[in-house]
Structure 1
């Protein structure tokens, strides 16, 4: 069985998401072309401002072919 760096990254990502599932943050993962990724991240931060929701780009990586896979996180509530 041939394993690629993407296979390893996918397995590591699954483990990380399972470990972080109960840390109070909501997460969304996207895979998009670079320009669309920038627009999506900006819209996310506009909708859930960092000052209130501690919103951030949690992780990102460039995939073969130039697409960007990234995860945005925010607190579930601003209270």
Structure 2
């Protein structure tokens, strides 16, 4: 499949990462928000599921056209 833009390639790579990582014991949430709100969301996520206990982290992020940030947070499923 030819890629028309860098975003096409990034979208395909992100989808592949989600598919491969689906059974690795982590729960993931993906958000698309303005930069300031993205920071607040990531901080709240890490406060709710601390990294030391749930191995929580920002798994990936990228800036979209228009300045919004798309990012994926992950944590161990044992937090459920």
Same fold (TM over 0.5): yes
Structure 1 residue 78: deviation in Å? 4.9
Aligned positions, number:
77
Structure 1 residue 14: deviation in Å? 0.7
Partner of 1:6: 7
Instruction: State the alpha-carbon separation in 2 of the partners of residues 31 and 6 from structure 1.
Output: 15
Partner of 2:22: 21
Instruction: State the alpha-carbon separation in 1 of the partners of residues 18 and 77 from structure 2.
Output: 16
Structure 1 residue 6: deviation in Å? 0.9
SS at 1:59 equivalent = strand
Structure 1 residue 45: deviation in Å? 0.3
The normalised TM-score by structure 1 is 0.92
Distance 1:26 1:74, change over 3 A: same
Instruction: State the alpha-carbon separation in 1 of the partners of residues 73 and 13 from structure 2.
Output: 17
Structure 1 residue 73: deviation in Å? 0.3
